[in-house]
Amino acid sequence: MTEPSTVTVAQYLARRLRSLGVEHLFGVPGDFALTLLDHALADGQQRWVGSPNELNAGYAADAYARTRGLAAMVTTFGVGELSALTAIAGASTENAPVVQITGAPSTTVAANGTLTHHTLADGDFGRFARAYGEVTAAGAVLTAEDAAEQIDAVLGAAVRDLRPVYLSIPVDVATAPVDASRLATPIPGPVADTAAVAEFRRLAAALLAGAHGAALIGGHLVERTRTTEAFTRLAHAAQSPVVTLISARGAFAETDPLFAGVYCGEIGSKRAIIAVETADVLIEAGTLMADAVTGLFSHRDDPAHTIHLGVHTATVGGTVVDGVPFAVALDVLTGLVDGAALHRGLPEVPAAGPVAGPELDQATLWAHLERWLPAGSRLLTDIGTTFWGSTSITLPAGTDVVAQPVWSSIGYSLPATLGCALADPARRPVLVIGDGAAQMTVQELSTLAREGSAPVVIIVDNSGYTIERALQSPQAVYNDVARWDWCALARAFAPGVDLFTAAPATPAELDAALATAQAHPRRMAVLHVRLDALDVPTGLQGLADAAHRR
């Protein structure tokens, strides 16, 4: 069958997205997006995954992008795209390349400033594109004359910068014809600057030459760039201690003999602190040293003795070198350290983990989850007690943590579970989320059920926002939320679906519920675990103490 010489703009975009690994479109339909969707979905390049609201769709797309390297969502103009703005801002902060696609009013309507719905009724149709310009790497309001060129340029920015991008497609432009032959030319990825790479190699070699010991710090970009194997090769070549930030649980196997623990400044593991503080040189691979990730900036900040790798910028001893893609920098360092005398051994500090007690509390919950968590699963937590509880456990082989510690928008992880489930069906998501966070985005339980996903969902019911209670005013009324029957709610969201629900009240009942969930991998499980409102995980207590001192 002969390929058509032209396709519509919407079809062109769908095919470009598919070539970059995008097999699903998240979003919420709206009148300005219907023509766009009809044409984009006509060829079967993607499958539509509708969410109850745009914010949820954005969170799902964020998690999908972390796994696939790119994701896409579609909303309508104004009301829809603004509802997704928080999710896209978070994706920008956390380097999740999501393509936000807006179905917009026709070019004639916009040019005439027609007072139409979904606008501020002032004739200015560019407001929302300008808003997205603040949180994206690139964007365009497509025109019929050069839509294909605009699409390629914007998608290229997403792939190279690992940040969200924005495409606004007027109704009439969505159906305009474009040359299909352009699709034969792939979207280019990151390109290395030969001179820059040589300069990076020279600077790094000079800094490493006088070093007797190094420590590697794995950051979130190791996973975003899908270079975990390359980072592991670097670690094994250096034979140096490896720590990961709390934002990068999955950058390096925690079962590897070189793993020294999770580093979060003064509140991280003691072994990780010693490994970092005693190293002559720090190799920071894709780190973002934000406040929550560093124990409120209590980390070692030593630019003169640090090699830092960014998306396509490397910094050595404070000297910035542009044009060195992340993967290339890892390979350069691997060659430099191979055989070097950087091995110091791991500090002899016993690993500290949660200690199980006779009753269900935070420590007991996480101690039992650590023993139960299957290898190869994906642990999702929301920023709050569940995230900080997860920092206390050692992950089994092939397991990572999906969370949003820098943007820290509560409610993220429930829709993110949907994104993970669709992006990699072979890995079963395990979601541990507080009741306050779950109330934000609970509707996505219905989408998970509709899509046939089978995550294990553990609702930690501590009657509200315990993370806020730990930070300030523990008895304040604004930290309380309404009590819900989570098991009944899950069944209401999934009529006719065979769910497993349980409300374990003791450690033994928790173990039994987890065993049942594991025995039925194709059946979604929802567990409702009630904990005390003031029960705080050790990691969160450490953060709160640091905040109080400051």
Tell me the CATH number for domain 194-337.
Answer: 3.40.50.1220
pLDDT digits (tens, 9 = 90+) for 385-406: 999 999 999 999 999 999 999 9
Q: 156 versus 338: which is more confidently predicted?
A: 156
Does pLDDT of 351 surpass 80?
Answer: no
Q: What are the structure tokens assigned to 501, written together?
A: 């629900």
Q: Are residues 101 and 167 in contact, defined by beta-carbon separation less than 8 angstroms? A: yes
Residues 6+ apart with CB under 8 A from 106: 170, 171, 172
Q: How far is CA 162 from CA 50, 321, 417, in A?
A: 24, 19, 21
Mean pLDDT of the chain: 95
Does pLDDT of 218 surpass 70?
Answer: yes
pLDDT of residue 340: 74
CATH number for 6-184 (one of 3.30.1300.10, 3.40.50.720, 3.40.50.970, 3.40.50.300): it is 3.40.50.970
Does pLDDT of 467 surpass 60?
Answer: yes
Question: Averaged over 509-514, what is the pLDDT?
Answer: 98
Confidence of residue 72 (pLDDT cuts 50, 70, 90): very high
pLDDT digits (tens, 9 = 90+) for 39-50: 999 999 999 999
pLDDT digits (tens, 9 = 90+) for 413-435: 999 999 999 999 999 999 999 99
CA-atom Rg of the chain in angstroms: 24
Does pLDDT of 1 surpass 70?
Answer: no
Q: Are residues 374 and 519 in contact, defined by beta-carbon separation less than 8 angstroms? A: no
Confidence of residue 358 (pLDDT cuts 50, 70, 90): confident
36-50, 90-104, 334-348: least confidently modelled range: 334-348
**Class of residue 105 by CB neighbours under 10 A (exposed 0-12, middle 13-18, buried 19+):** buried
pLDDT of residue 122: 94
Q: Are residues 252 and 231 in contact, defined by beta-carbon separation less than 8 angstroms? A: yes
Q: Are residues 459 and 527 in contact, defined by beta-carbon separation less than 8 angstroms? A: yes
Q: Which residue from 399, 436, 392, 438 is spatially nearest to 537, judged by alpha carbons?
A: 392
**Would you say the CATH fold of 362-549 matches that of 194-337?**
yes
CA–CA dist 248, 257 (Å, integer)? 18
Does pLDDT of 112 surpass 70?
Answer: yes
Coil, strand or helix: which one is 275? Answer: helix
Question: Averaged over 356-378, what is the pLDDT?
Answer: 94
pLDDT of residue 349: 67
pLDDT of residue 346: 72
pTM of the model: 0.96
Does pLDDT of 357 surpass 90?
Answer: no
Domain regions of the chain by residue span: 6-184, 194-337, 362-549
Share of residues in the chain with pLDDT > 90 (%):
93
Q: Are residues 247 and 179 in contact, defined by beta-carbon separation less than 8 angstroms? A: no
CA–CA dist 359, 380 (Å, integer)? 24
How far does CA 346 lie from the centroid of its chain? Answer: 30
Question: Averaged over 323-340, what is the pLDDT?
Answer: 94
Does pLDDT of 195 surpass 80?
Answer: yes
pLDDT of residue 548: 85
19-23, 197-201, 228-232, 468-472: least confidently modelled range: 468-472
pLDDT of residue 464: 95
Does pLDDT of 26 surpass 90?
Answer: yes
Q: What are the structure tokens assigned to 107, written together?
A: 């070019």
Does pLDDT of 341 surpass 80?
Answer: no
Question: Averaged over 319-334, what is the pLDDT?
Answer: 98
Angle at the Cα of 454 (from 452 to 459), degrees rounded to 5? 125
What would be the CATH architecture of the domain defined by 362-549?
Answer: 3-Layer(aba) Sandwich (3.40)
pLDDT digits (tens, 9 = 90+) for 171-186: 999 999 999 999 999 9
